[in-house]
Chain A
Amino acid sequence: MARGGNAEVIRARAATRSIPLDPGFPWEVGRASGQPVMRCFQCGRCTNGCPLTWAMDHPPHRLLRMVQLGAEGEVLVSRTIWLCSACHGCATRCPNDIHLPAVMDALKQMALARRVRVGDRQVALFHRLFLATVARLGRMYELGLIGLHKLASGNLFGDLKVGLLMFTRGKLSPLPQLIKGRGDLRAVWRRAAALRREGGRQ
C-alpha cells in the first residue's frame, strides 16, 4: 500500500470483492483530525441521532468503521463526509469522546488534497465559494455567494422562492459588508496556503 500501511493486500479471487485493508490510513485520519478514531467500538449512537443519514451513502458509524479498516478509496469519495452539517449531535453523544464532525472535516480536506472524485460536487463547490467570499470580504456575503454558486453550478432557478421570501423579509443584504484589516486577513490566508504546501499533500 501507499502510505503507512503494511498490509500487502491482494484482492480475493472469490466471486465477491474483498476490501483492501490499510491499517495506516486510520492513523493518518487520526493525526489530521486530532481524533482517536481507533477507539470507536461501533455503538451506533452517532448514527441514531444524525439528522442527515437519509441522504448519506454510508451512515456515520459505518463510515468510521471504514476509516478503521483503511478503506480509503471508498471513504474519500463518500457523500457522507460532504453532507455532514456539523450539528455536533454525534460528538455530544459519543461515549468514546470522538468528535465526528472534526473527522469529517479532515476527510473532506484529504479528499480535495488527493483530487479524488468528490462525493457531492454541489457541497464542495459551496465550501470553496464560501471560503473565497470570506477571503475577499472578511465576512459572509449571502447574496453574492448564492449568485456565484448558481452561476458555477448552473442551477439558476433552484430555491428561487425561498430566496425571494428571505430577500423581502430583509434577511439578505443587497450589498456586501466589508471589514477593516482585510489586508491582514489575506496574510492569514497566504500563511495557511503556505503551511498546506509544506506539511500537507503527503
Chain B
Amino acid sequence: MKRVGVFVCWCGRNIAETVDIEALCRQLGRDAPVAWVEDYKYMCSEPGQQLMKKAIAEQHLDAVVVAACSPNMHEVTFRLAAEAAGLNPYRLEIANIREQCSWVHRDRDQATAKALDIVRSMVEKVARDEELQPLRVPVTKRALVIGAGISGMQAALEIADAGHEVLLVERQTYIGGHMAQLSETFPTLDCASCILTPRTAEVARHPRIKLMVASEVIEVGGYVGNFVVRIRQNPTYVDWSTCTGCMECVEKCPRQVPSRFERGLGTRKAISVAFPQAVPYRPSIDAEACLYFTKGRCGICQKTCPVGAVDYEQKPVIHEEKVGAIVVATGYELFPKARIGEYGYGKYPDVIDGLEFERLNSASGPTSGRIQRPSDGKVPKEVVFIQCVGSRDQEKGVPYCSKICCMYTAKHAMLYKHKVPDGQAYVFYMDVRAGGKGYEEFIQRAVEEDGVLYLRGRVSRIFPEGSKLMVWGVDTISGEKVEIAADLVVLAMAMVPSPTARDLARVLKVSIDEHGFFSEAHPKLRPVESLSRGIYLTGCAQAPKDIPEAVAQAGSAASKVLALFSSDELLHPPTVVRVDPEICSGCGLCVKSCPYEARQIDPVSKVARVREVLCQGCGACAAACPNGATQHINFTKEQLMSMIDTFTGPPDGAGRER
C-alpha cells in the first residue's frame, strides 16, 4: 500500500469560502491510502511548499495529491517542489477543486462533497502512478531557413554568427526577396540596395551558411531537434560551379522576354541573371522562354560559353539534410491585380502596382530611375495613388489591413515629387495608419513639405480619356466628388502570403490561418513559434509587416533556435503511450488516429510501436485501440476506471475507511 499525502489549499477565500476545508480533511484522513492530510491558506507560497516538502520527508510519502487550482497554474511548481524533497515528480497530481468546484458552485455542502470526490479520484490515480523519467533526445545543431528575403537572411545570419550551421533555401535564383526590388525605404528614404547588398554579400560568403537557391523544400520528417528534410534543387541549366559569371551567354542570347523581376516593365534574355546586383551572380535559363527548349534549336549560349558550363540536360536534384530547427520565412506576394477590374489593371498600361512603381523609381530599374509612364514613356504630371486596393475589401479582396501600404504610398508620392517637382501627387486613402517610429512625421512631411494632396475616399472607377486616365472618387471629409485627369495611377495592392505557403504548411505539418499566413502559437506571448516544436516563423510568412518588424522578428526566431541549440539534449515528457506487443494485433487503428505520426507498424514484427519523442500524449490511439494493447502511461485504463468508480460509487465513500 502506497503512502499518499494530501495537501489542501484554501486559495485565500477562493476555495475555503465554498468548500468546508476542515470537513474535507477529516473525511480524507479516514480514507485507506491517505497517510497524511494537511491544509494551508496558500499552498503555492513558499511556506506552503516547505510544509509539503517537510511532510514528504518526515512521513515517507510516496505519492502526493495537491487539492488546489488548475494544473495549468501550478502543476510545475508543485512537481519541482516534490522533486526537491526526493519524490518522483510524476508521483504528484493536482486535484482541481477551484475552477472545477468552488468557483462554479454556491451550496457549501454539495461543493464540499464534490471536492471530496475530486480529491479521492486523484488519490486513486496517484496511488497507481509510475515513477517516470523525462525522455532525452539528442539535438542536431543545424538550422534550416526557408526563404532568403530580408527576414530569412537576417535569421540565417544571426544563427550562423552564433556558431551554428545554417541551410538557407530560396526558391528564386537570387537572394534578397522583394526588398531587392525596392528603390528606397521608409521612413528614412535610404536606398534599399545600399542596406540590402551588404547583407546578401555577407550571406553569400558566410562560412557557416549553406546557400541553396532555385530550391524548394518538398518533404519534412522527424521531430524537433531531428528533422529530416528533402530539398529539390531545380535545374538552372548552367553548372554554377564552373561558370565564371562572364555573362557572354546573356549577351549572345537572341531571345528577349519580359522580366519577372522588373514586373514586366523591362525585358531580359532567356538566359539571364534576374538583375545586375543579383547574388549569386550566375545566369540561369528560363526553359519556357528558351528557343532550345521550346523549338529545339539555337544552342548559342552553349557554343558561346568559354568554360562549357551550359548544360541543357541538367535535372532536378534531391538533397536530404538533417536539421534540428526550421525557420519559415516565405514572405509575401501582391494580391492578383486582375481581380480589381474597375481600376482597369491589365487593360490600361498606366495603371500599375506598388512594386512596379518601385522598379520605375529604382536607379537600376528599366528606366534607370526616371519616372516615366509605361504606355508612352512620358513623365507623368498628375499621379494618383490609391491605398487599400484589395485590402479591407471583403467583397473582392481580403478583409485585413496590409499594414505597409500607407507608409510606402507616402514614400512613393514623396519620391515622385522629388523627381518631378512640378508634378502633383494625389493619395486616396481610407485611414492613414502610421504607427511606428517616425512614421506619422513621415506622412506629415509628405503632406506639408511635398504637397501631396490626401483625399479620403475610395476611387470608384478609372477609365481612359485621350492620353489621360480619369479617376472618379470622393473626398468624404468635404463630401465633394472629385475627378482627376491622371497620367499615371499607382495601386497599393493588398499583401497576400507567398503562393507556395499553403503547400509548405502541408509539408511542415504546421497550421496556416484562413488567409494562408502561418499561424503563431500564441498571438501575443509566442509570436514567432509555430504550434509544432522546433518550427519558427518570421517575416511576412506570418502576417504583413514592414522591414524593421521583419528583421526584429527574424532576430527573435533566431534566438528561439539558439535556445534550442544551447543544450545537447531535449527533454520530452514521459507521459506518452506504450504498447504491449503480446496483445497488439497489428490492426493499425492507432496509426490512423495519431495526428503526430508517432505511431507505426513495425515492418518485421507486424505490431504497433511508438516513436516516443513524437508522441504528444493526446491519448487518441489509446482510445482507438480495440484490445487495450496501447496504454497511456499514468493514464492507464485501470487508473481511469478507478477514478470513475470514486464518482459513481456510494456518495459517503463507504467502504473506503480503514
Residues of A within 8 A of B (CB): 5-12, 14, 16-19, 21, 23, 27, 36, 38-39, 42, 62, 65-66, 68-69, 71
Chain B residues numbered 410-428 whose CB sits less than 8 Å from any CB in chain A: 422-424, 426
**In the bound complex, do residue B477 and residue A42 qualify as a contact, i.e. CB atoms below 8 Å apart?**
yes
Question: Inside 8 A of A27's CB, which chain B residues have their CB?
Answer: 451
Question: Inside 8 A of B477's CB, which chain A residues have their CB?
Answer: 42, 62, 65
**In the bound complex, do residue B381 and residue A66 qualify as a contact, i.e. CB atoms below 8 Å apart?**
no
Question: Inside 8 A of A21's CB, which chain B residues have their CB?
Answer: 426, 453, 482, 484
Instruction: Give the shortest distance, in Å, between A32 (CB) and chain B (any CB).
Output: 16
In the complex, residue of chain B having the shortest beta-carbon distance to the beta carbon of A6: B424
In the complex, residue of chain A having the shortest beta-carbon distance to the beta carbon of B423: A6
**In the bound complex, do residue A68 and residue B453 qualify as a contact, i.e. CB atoms below 8 Å apart?**
yes
A17-B422 contact in complex given A39-B444, A69-B453, C-beta closer than 8 Å: no
In the complex, residue of chain B having the shortest beta-carbon distance to the beta carbon of A96: B444
**In the bound complex, do residue B478 and residue A19 qualify as a contact, i.e. CB atoms below 8 Å apart?**
yes
- The reply on B481 being an interface residue by CB < 8 A is yes
Question: Inside 8 A of A14's CB, which chain B residues have their CB?
Answer: 472, 481
Chain B residues numbered 459-505 whose CB sits less than 8 Å from any CB in chain A: 468, 470, 472, 475, 477-478, 480-485
List 5 A–B pairs whose Cβ atoms lie within 8 Å, in order of A's numbering: A7-B382, A18-B482, A18-B483, A23-B424, A39-B448
**In the bound complex, do residue A65 and residue B478 qualify as a contact, i.e. CB atoms below 8 Å apart?**
yes
Contact of A39 among B422, B447, B478 (CB under 8 A): B447
A10-B483 contact in complex given A62-B478, A69-B478, C-beta closer than 8 Å: yes
Instruction: Give the shortest distance, in Å, between A38 (CB) and chain B (any CB).
Output: 5
Instruction: Give the shortest distance, in Å, between A59 (CB) and chain B (any CB).
Output: 11
**In the bound complex, do residue A12 and residue B472 qualify as a contact, i.e. CB atoms below 8 Å apart?**
yes
Q: With A and B bound together, what is the CA distance between A23 and B484 in angstroms?
A: 12
Instruction: Give the shortest distance, in Å, between B452 (CB) and chain A (any CB).
Output: 9
Q: With A and B bound together, what is the CA distance between A115 and B453 in angstroms?
A: 28
**In the bound complex, do residue B480 and residue A19 qualify as a contact, i.e. CB atoms below 8 Å apart?**
yes
Instruction: Give the shortest distance, in Å, between A46 (CB) and chain B (any CB).
Output: 14
**In the bound complex, do residue A38 and residue B483 qualify as a contact, i.e. CB atoms below 8 Å apart?**
no
**In the bound complex, do residue A23 and residue B482 qualify as a contact, i.e. CB atoms below 8 Å apart?**
no
**In the bound complex, do residue A16 and residue B382 qualify as a contact, i.e. CB atoms below 8 Å apart?**
no
Q: With A and B bound together, what is the CA distance between A71 and B477 in angstroms?
A: 13
Q: With A and B bound together, what is the CA distance between A69 and B457 in angstroms?
A: 13
Chain B residues numbered 431-460 whose CB sits less than 8 Å from any CB in chain A: 444, 447-448, 451, 453, 455
A11-B483 contact in complex given A19-B478, A62-B478, A69-B478, C-beta closer than 8 Å: yes
Contact of A6 among B422, B448, B472, B475 (CB under 8 A): B422
Tally the A-B contacts, defined by beta carbons under 8 Å: 68
**Chief secondary structure at chain B's binding surface:** strand
In the complex, residue of chain B having the shortest beta-carbon distance to the beta carbon of A68: B453
Question: Inside 8 A of B455's CB, which chain A residues have their CB?
Answer: 69
Q: With A and B bound together, what is the CA distance between A16 and B474 in angstroms?
A: 12
Quick one: which of B444, B470, B482 has the most chain A CB within 10 A?
B482
Q: With A and B bound together, what is the CA distance between A85 and B381 in angstroms?
A: 41
Instruction: Give the shortest distance, in Å, between B422 (CB) and chain A (any CB).
Output: 7
**In the bound complex, do residue A19 and residue B448 qualify as a contact, i.e. CB atoms below 8 Å apart?**
no
Question: Inside 8 A of A71's CB, which chain B residues have their CB?
Answer: 478, 480
Q: With A and B bound together, what is the CA distance between A33 and B346 in angstroms?
A: 45
**In the bound complex, do residue B485 and residue A10 qualify as a contact, i.e. CB atoms below 8 Å apart?**
yes
**In the bound complex, do residue A18 and residue B480 qualify as a contact, i.e. CB atoms below 8 Å apart?**
yes
Question: Inside 8 A of B480's CB, which chain A residues have their CB?
Answer: 18-19, 69, 71
Question: Inside 8 A of B483's CB, which chain A residues have their CB?
Answer: 9-12, 18
Q: With A and B bound together, what is the CA distance between A39 and B444 in angstroms?
A: 7
Q: With A and B bound together, what is the CA distance between A172 and B477 in angstroms?
A: 46
Question: Inside 8 A of A65's CB, which chain B residues have their CB?
Answer: 475, 477-478
**In the bound complex, do residue A8 and residue B472 qualify as a contact, i.e. CB atoms below 8 Å apart?**
no
**In the bound complex, do residue B423 and residue A19 qualify as a contact, i.e. CB atoms below 8 Å apart?**
no
Q: With A and B bound together, what is the CA distance between A77 and B483 in angstroms?
A: 23
Question: Inside 8 A of B484's CB, which chain A residues have their CB?
Answer: 7, 9, 21
**In the bound complex, do residue B424 and residue A7 qualify as a contact, i.e. CB atoms below 8 Å apart?**
yes
**In the bound complex, do residue B451 and residue A10 qualify as a contact, i.e. CB atoms below 8 Å apart?**
no
Q: With A and B bound together, what is the CA distance between A12 and B482 in angstroms?
A: 8
Question: Inside 8 A of B482's CB, which chain A residues have their CB?
Answer: 18-19, 21, 69
Q: With A and B bound together, what is the CA distance between A193 and B481 in angstroms?
A: 40
**In the bound complex, do residue B444 and residue A23 qualify as a contact, i.e. CB atoms below 8 Å apart?**
no
In the complex, residue of chain A having the shortest beta-carbon distance to the beta carbon of B480: A19
Q: With A and B bound together, what is the CA distance between A65 and B447 in angstroms?
A: 13
**In the bound complex, do residue B478 and residue A66 qualify as a contact, i.e. CB atoms below 8 Å apart?**
yes
Instruction: Give the shortest distance, in Å, between B432 (CB) and chain A (any CB).
Output: 9
Contact of B381 among A6, A36, A62, A69 (CB under 8 A): A6
Question: Inside 8 A of A23's CB, which chain B residues have their CB?
Answer: 424, 426, 451, 453
Question: Inside 8 A of B382's CB, which chain A residues have their CB?
Answer: 6-8
Q: With A and B bound together, what is the CA distance between A19 and B473 in angstroms?
A: 11
**In the bound complex, do residue A36 and residue B448 qualify as a contact, i.e. CB atoms below 8 Å apart?**
yes
Question: Inside 8 A of A39's CB, which chain B residues have their CB?
Answer: 444, 447-448
**In the bound complex, do residue A69 and residue B447 qualify as a contact, i.e. CB atoms below 8 Å apart?**
no
**In the bound complex, do residue A9 and residue B451 qualify as a contact, i.e. CB atoms below 8 Å apart?**
no
Q: With A and B bound together, what is the CA distance between A8 and B447 in angstroms?
A: 20
**In the bound complex, do residue B481 and residue A12 qualify as a contact, i.e. CB atoms below 8 Å apart?**
yes
Question: Inside 8 A of B478's CB, which chain A residues have their CB?
Answer: 19, 62, 65-66, 69, 71
A18-B481 contact in complex given A6-B422, A7-B382, A8-B382, C-beta closer than 8 Å: yes
Contact of B451 among A12, A38, A42 (CB under 8 A): A38
